[in-house]
A and B are shown apart, each in its own frame.
Chain A
Amino acid sequence: MKTFRIGGIHPKENKFSAGKQIQVAELPKQVVIPLSHYIGTPSEAVVKKGDVVKVGQLIGKANGFISANVHSSVSGKVNKIDVQLDATGYKRPAVYIDVEGDEWLETIDRSTEIKRECNLSKEEIVRKIQDAGIVGLGGATFPTHVKLSPPPGKKANILIINAVECESYLTCDHQLMLEKGEEILVGTTILMKALEVNRAVIGIESNKKDAIVHLQQLAKNFKGIEVEALKVRYPQGGEKQLIDAVVRRQVPSGRIPIEVGAVVQNVGTTYAVYEAVQKNKPMIERVMTITGKTAPNPGNYLVRLGTYLSSVVDQAGGVPEGTGKIVGGGPMMGRSLMNLNVPMAKGSSGVVFIKEEESIRKPVKNCIRCAKCVTVCPMGLEPFLLMNQSERNMWAEMEDNRTMDCIECGSCSYTCPSNRPLLDYIRFGKTTVGGIIRNRTAKK
């Protein structure tokens, strides 16, 4: 079985919510829809206080190319446009909507019937995706239409669908594949058309055998789509790692995947593309996993954007006793939440409860030069060295040692026998070095 060639770890999978049917979460009383995503400029609000909105109506217009539209996920009245704490505790602009009924825009096709034909041209597809405000649902939330518009002179020859879900605990993509397999394949053909490629590979880790078999069977009816089983290895879901695993191409340092002719899209994004293009449904809801070792009722929930995480967690049985940390996203890449009163954003893939005894950071000891972090780094970096340089503010050396290539997967911190906070320091260095590089290019 294929996998990427450099580094990687295999944390315990703990997929408690695997095979749990996607449940539709209750409509909340109020939603708070953030106008800014994690990547790109915040969108501009186009509604004002007192406006009545329907499900799917545009409320935030994209501001620039690397930005995405935001749509109302509920019907009701706009209460206010104000700031709202996001998961990191900083305030971001958001639209507050009081829910009244559930009235959808007439243009949205709400039937469950699968629409396979798509006669739109390449430009029309990208246009529709851009209008629907679709962003990468793997977690980075990079606007999808940007990825589908390669820079001039560059052309993709393969589309890779990221169905790896290498993070432990999370199962939202897995369940989506089981329930919406055919839709995902239609979405893949649409994306292939938009990119003008005739080959697509869906990469799935081998711990999701049912999904592999299911999609392989369905893929027989679709031309040019292959399903590839991959060895379980974290961080296979990283773009560069997945390209290496599937087509054995290495993306050069500091470059983007299109340079080697590959485009990677998350499986959740593919489903959203299907809904946007075939059903005119903008990005207003997503599947998220609520799980944890002590979670009373781990499961996958279809949640409207802007719902408070606390209300979803309550539906899943509430916060279990003895929880030390609540992590938004997967346990490796996710960040612990300050509180649960944060609205769900496009990139929220899950909520994981970590037991108190597991959540405590162990005391930091000295580096014993075992080089385990070097072995596991999927980007071929030397994390111990980068951490030392970051501690001593040696920014020039950090840049020479390719700190900007770090994908922040956390494999180094996970594997360190001395519990050294490698990633924390590398991230610190990365931010500083990034700032220095931006200043330098701005001066030129």
Chain B
Amino acid sequence: MNLIVIALLTLGIIGAVSAIILYFVAKKFHVYEDPRIDEVEAALPAANCGGCGFPGCRGFANACVKADTLDGLFCPVGGNDTMQKVAGILGKTAVTAVPTVAVVRCGGTCDHRPRMNEYDGVKHCFIAHNLYSGETGCSWGCLGLGDCEVSCEFDAIKVNPVTKLPEVDEDKCTSCGACVKACPKLLIELRKKGPKSRRIYVSCRNEDKGHIAKKSCDVSCISCSKCEKVCPHEAITITNNLAFIHDDKCKLCRKCVEVCPTNAIVELNFPPRKVKEESMTPKEEQLVG
């Protein structure tokens, strides 16, 4: 009985002394952390993708709390709604950004770009890119080995096994920019999502001269500058034998799509064009009717 009392007393005293020491140490070395960081973090999507440029959502929350204004701070995954919430918590005004989405600027499917050799090395775009220009004649185009697919945290980009080109799922894409960094050929670009997800872009990165580009791929940009001339909004520029549509100037009139001789300019999510009526003779109309 005595033994138990002694043991209990000893342990109790040690515990009490330790508790007192710990209490004072905790007081002394207390680090003040803004409680708003936790609140902001809770409002963020918790994807930890790094798309904002900070190491994870906590890093971004920390930066938001410390910054004087929210200029230049934007969570591409959460978008404007999340930024409004963050701004509400912090009592600052959020910058609204136009939602963007990733587009793959290569249209060289197997039909358009004949395979000239076979690559049997590691299925990794960067490694293949380091070794040589790729299986096709176009040294600028997609290698189709899926570095972008691996890099995507949201399952939004997938290489189509038939066309061997990556396809972006617009609903899933958060435009975090991971695939942009992963692509060794710099094919992926974040573009404005556009009204009703309608977009027009040049689906080619080939900077070779026209005849060389045309030889290597049927749907390459041959820098004929027809689109540059036809564009009423001066949204198209040609640099290094390659046309580029600036999405802040583009009004989605689709004139460039019509004139492009190689179909290198792609339109997405537009309703089908009306068939021109004068192509039908009255007789034919009667027959159809």
Q: Which residues of A contact B (CB under 8 A)?
A: 83, 85, 88-91, 335, 338-339, 360-361, 421, 424-425, 427-428, 431-432
Q: How far is the CA of A345 from the CA of B187 in the complex (A)?
A: 31
Quick one: given A335-B132, A425-B127, A428-B126, are A361 and B120 in contact (CB under 8 Å)?
yes
B173-184 to A contact mask, C-beta < 8 Å, 1/0: 000000000000
Nearest CB of chain A from residue B72's CB, rounded to whole Å: 20
| Residues from chain B with Cβ under 8 Å of A427 in the complex | 127, 130
User: Do B120 and A89 have beta carbons less than 8 Å apart?
Assistant: no
Q: Which of B116, B133, B212 contacts A90, CB < 8 Å?
A: B133
CB distance from B270 to the nearest CB of A (A): 35
Query: Nearest chain A CB to B149's CB is how many angstroms away?
Result: 15
B121 contacts A89, C-beta separation under 8 Å: no
Please name the residue on chain A nearest to B133 by beta carbon: A89
Q: 10 closest pairs, A vs B, by CB? A: A89-B133, A88-B132, A89-B132, A424-B122, A421-B122, A424-B127, A428-B127, A361-B120, A90-B133, A338-B117
Task: Say yes or no: A89 contacts B130, CB within 8 Å.
Answer: no
A360 with B120: CB separation less than 8 A: yes
Q: How far is the CA of A91 from the CA of B132 in the complex (A)?
A: 11
Interface of A is mostly: mixed
A-B contact pairs, 17 of them (CB 8 A): A88-B131, A88-B133, A89-B133, A89-B134, A89-B139, A90-B133, A335-B131, A335-B132, A338-B116, A338-B117, A339-B116, A361-B121, A424-B124, A424-B127, A428-B130, A431-B126, A432-B126
Q: Which of A89, A90, A91, A338: most chain B Cβ within 10 A?
A: A89
CA distance A361 to B128 in the complex (A): 15
Q: Which residue of B lies closest to A88 (CB)?
A: B132
Q: Per a CB cutoff under 8 Å, which of B120, B130, B139 touches A91?
A: B139
Within 8 Å by CB of B208, from A91, A421, A431, lies A91
A85-B133 Cα distance, complex, nearest whole Å: 10
What number of A-B contacts does a CB cutoff of 8 Å give?
A: 46
B residues with CB within 8 A of A: 116-117, 120-122, 124, 126-127, 130-134, 139, 208, 212
Bound together, the chains give a CA A430 to CA B285 distance in angstroms of: 68
- Contacting A339 at CB < 8 Å: which of B117, B127, B208, B212? B117
Contact A425 B122 (CB under 8 A): yes
Measured CB to CB, the nearest residue on chain A to B121 is A424
In the complex, what's the smallest C-beta–C-beta distance from A414 to chain B, in angstroms?
Answer: 15
Residues of B within 8 A of A432 (CB): 126
* B contact residues around A361 at 8 Å (CB): 120-121
Given contacts A90-B139, A338-B116, A339-B116, contact A428 B133 (CB under 8 A): no
**How many whole Å from B230's CB to the nearest CB in chain A?**
29
User: Which residue in chain A gives the minimum CB-CB distance to B134?
Assistant: A89
Nearest CB on A from B119, distance (A): 10
CB-CB nearest in chain B for A335: B131
Q: How far is the CA of A361 from the CA of B127 in the complex (A)?
A: 15
Contact status A338-B122, CB under 8 Å: no
Chain B residues, Cβ within 8 Å of A431: 126, 130
Measured CA separation A106–B134 after assembly (Å): 44
Cβ–Cβ contact B132 & A338, under 8 A: yes
The answer to whether A338 touches B121 (Cβ under 8 A) is no
A100: shortest Cβ distance to chain B, in Å? 27
Instruction: Check if B124 sits within 8 Å of A428, measured CB to CB.
Output: yes
What CA separation (Å) do A424 and B128 show in the bound complex? 9
Residues of chain A within 8 A of B116, CB atoms compared: 338-339
A424 contact set on B, CB distance < 8 A = 121-122, 124, 127, 131
Q: Are A421 and B121 in contact (CB under 8 A)?
A: yes
- Cβ contacts under 8 Å, B127 to chain A: 421, 424-425, 427-428
Residues of chain A contacted by B139 (CB below 8 angstroms): 89-91
Given pairs A338-B133, A425-B127, A432-B126, 9 additional interface contacts (CB within 8 A): A89-B133, A89-B134, A90-B139, A361-B120, A361-B121, A424-B121, A424-B124, A428-B127, A431-B126
- When distances are taken between beta carbons in the complex, the residues of chain A under 8 Å from B212 are 83, 91
Closest CB in chain A relative to B132 CB, distance in Å: 4
How far is it, in angstroms, between the C-alpha of A427 and the C-alpha of B121 when the chains are bound? 13
What is the CB-to-nearest-CB distance from A319 to chain B, in angstroms, rounded to a whole number?
14
In whole angstroms, what is the CA distance A83 to B212 when docked?
10
